Amino acid sequence: MPPKFNMRPDKNPMPSQAPDVRNKNFKEVALGYTEEMAVDEAKRCLNCKNKPCVNGCPVNIHIPEFISKVAEGDFEGAYEIISLSSSLPAVCGRVCPQETQCEGKCTRGIKGEPVAIGRLERFVADWHNAHVSATPKMPETNGHKVAIIGSGPAGLTCAGDLAKMGYDVTIYEALHLAGGVLVYGIPEFRLPKAIVQKEIDNLKALGVKIETNMVIGRVLTVEELKEAYGYEAIFIGSGAGLPMFMNIPGENLKGVYSANEFLTRSNLMKAYLPDSATPIQKSRNVAVVGGGNVAMDAARTAKRLGAENVYIVYRRGMEELPARREEVEHAEEEGIIFRTLCNPVEILPAAVSDPRDPKYGTVAGMKCVRMELGEPDASGRRRPIEIPDSAFDMEVDCVIMSLGTSPNPLLKKTTPGLETKRRGEIVADEDGLTSIEGVYAGGDAVTGAATVILAMGAGKKAAAAMDKYIRSKNI
Ligand code: FAD
Ligand code: SF4
């Protein structure tokens, strides 16, 4: 009789494009498990009684239950179980930091590698999308109107849950395409946009209306949505899209981008296609300043756009890089060069004085200083300290600043009574209720830059609270 569990210590590896092939194209890097690999991997799950993996998942997906279904070859059954807790499994299976969530808690990780929960989630969602074409049925209407500001994972999840309850839901999105960071930030090679579009099409099938090119706070205010348009509750899921800069000399030169702008040009505007109407600088030597996931995405995008040398410039060491380990490894495999313990102090202009010269006002280099690590700071990471007389120049023609983002202050400025914190995060309680009655918020707009799954979880909680609020008012 074959053993019940597969006790192999390692995960089934993920089939992927070879590094020297993929660093020249924008197609998805990871290719996904076959059915055989998925069943084999699912058999590594011990179906633990105490389910530590479920506690590690921010939306508490019934992990062992869905994995058992995969092991039995019932992939649609597995999909139905995941769908009870997650509305974007094809997205989360690809981009969630499983190593610090479900997989970080997996019993199999104690003596070997954890079960590849993320890869199995992705497999199940992709299998469903490839084999089951049913579009969701339009729910019966309950006659109540709600508005959602922003169409990222928080807004999409909130909209989906409310639409399923029968609400008349309208999403107002500032950009010309819905999806938030999933379409403008995370590159195609990590998250194909067709997957996001399918989720948005499903929402439309549920009756959700999406009004694009609608910057709330400019075209309409939150107050107008409530008073003039008659929305009984509003959810703000406007994200944290305002980039930070270092405020060093030379940051206004041509060839200096925020990571958000650089990635938006490439992902949303498809600037990598030869016939795109949006330009993007094709550079030889690119420095990406920062060490998070966004920095890795920007560096890998710059490489794919044809740069010979792409540097990650980070003031702490490799150990302290905040990006996911998998993203750092992918970047290294693709030829990204890590210049750690290094901090920029000035971006240097080309030595050209004639304004008619195309090189006038462009980037020619970056002055940096070397750093060493001192005692841990408030974040718990060792504080970087400048080494005296260590300045040196790097030859670069493009600098991409990836230092973090904060919520855009527009909604705060145009919504009287909306309380925010010091860096613009909207103040909201556990259920997402803000300082204004009937106005809820969640996702990066409340937490500052975080993760897709946390934004989804916040959208879900707020949808339940909005429903309760509207029902209580209508008794
Ligand atoms: P967003 O996704 O930012 O969506 C907000 C939406 O609101 C946007 O579409 C915006 O245009 C719109 N909006 C803003 N203001 C207004 C307004 N006034 N009126 C109307 N609409 C408005 N997380 C992970 O879990 N894994 C990853 O691998 C990962 N990689 C990332 C890579 C990049 C490059 C970036 C930038 C982020 C990444 N994140 C990742 C973080 C994750 O994408 C975010 O935490 C998540 O998208 C937040 O969701 P949200 O719905 O709160 O906001
Ligand atoms: Fe399976 Fe790991 Fe969860 Fe245990 S902790 S049920 S082995 S996925």
Q: Is the CB of 153 under 6 A from ligand 1?
A: yes
Which tens digit of pLDDT belongs to each residue from 189-242? 999 999 999 989 989 999 999 999 999 999 999 999 999 999 999 999 999 999
Mutational pocket test of ligand 1: of 95, 103, 181, 200, the residue with most ligand atoms within 8 Å of the beta carbon? 181
Global pTM value: 0.93
Q: What confidence score (pLDDT) does residue 3 get?
A: 52
User: What is the average pLDDT score of the chain?
Assistant: 94
Looking from the CA of residue 47, the nearest atom of ligand 2 is 6
Which residue lies with its CA nearest to atom 4 of ligand 2? 48
> Which residues have C-beta within 8 Å of that of residue 80, sequence separation ≥ 6?
none
Residues 163 and 469 sit within 8 Å (Cβ to Cβ): no
> What is the number of the ligand closest to the CA of 183?
1
Q: What confidence score (pLDDT) does residue 392 get?
A: 97
Task: Give me the residues paired with residue 361 across strands.
Answer: none
The gap from C-alpha 343 to its chain's centroid, in whole angstroms, comes to 26
Which residue lies with its CA nearest to atom 9 of ligand 1? 180
Long-range contacts, stretch 440-443, CB < 8 angstroms, 24+ apart: 440/158, 440/233, 440/234, 440/235, 440/236, 440/465, 440/466, 441/235, 441/236, 441/237, 442/154, 442/158, 442/235, 442/236, 442/237, 443/150, 443/152, 443/153, 443/154, 443/155, 443/237, 443/239
Which tens digit of pLDDT belongs to each residue from 161-185? 999 999 999 999 999 999 999 999 9
Q: Is the CB of 444 under 6 A from ligand 1?
A: yes
Return the sign of the alpha-carbon dihedral for residues 414, 422, 213, 236.
Answer: negative
> What is the number of the ligand closest to the CA of 448?
1
Percent over 90 (pLDDT), the chain: 88
Residue 2 pLDDT greater than 60, yes or no: no
H/E run at residue 149: strand 145-149
Which tens digit of pLDDT belongs to each residue from 379-391? 788 899 999 999 9
> What is the number of the ligand closest to the CA of 459?
1
Which tens digit of pLDDT belongs to each residue from 298-338? 999 999 999 999 999 999 999 999 999 889 999 999 999 99
> What is the number of the ligand closest to the CA of 263?
1
Query: How wide is the angle at C-alpha 65 spanned by C-alphas 63 and 70, nearest 5°?
Result: 95
Say how far apart CA 68 and CA 74 lie, in whole Å.
9
Looking at residues 250-262, what average pLDDT do you find? 96
Helix, coil or strand: residue 449: coil
Which tens digit of pLDDT belongs to each residue from 12-48? 999 999 999 999 999 999 999 999 999 999 999 999 9
> Which residues have C-beta within 8 Å of that of residue 99, sequence separation ≥ 6?
324, 325, 326
Q: Is the CB of 58 under 6 A from ligand 1?
A: no
CA 52 to ligand 2 centroid distance, Å: 7
Which tens digit of pLDDT belongs to each residue from 41-69? 999 999 999 999 999 999 899 999 999 99
Structure tokens at 309: 């040398």
Ligand 2: residues whose CB is within 6 Å? 45-48, 51-53, 63-64, 67, 106-108, 115, 117
Which residue lies with its CA nearest to atom 1 of ligand 2? 45
413 CB neighbour count, 10 Å cutoff: 12
> Which residues have C-beta within 8 Å of that of residue 306, sequence separation ≥ 6?
282
Burial of 248 (0-12, 13-18, 19+ CB in 10 A): middle
Residue of 277 and 379 predicted with greater confidence:
277
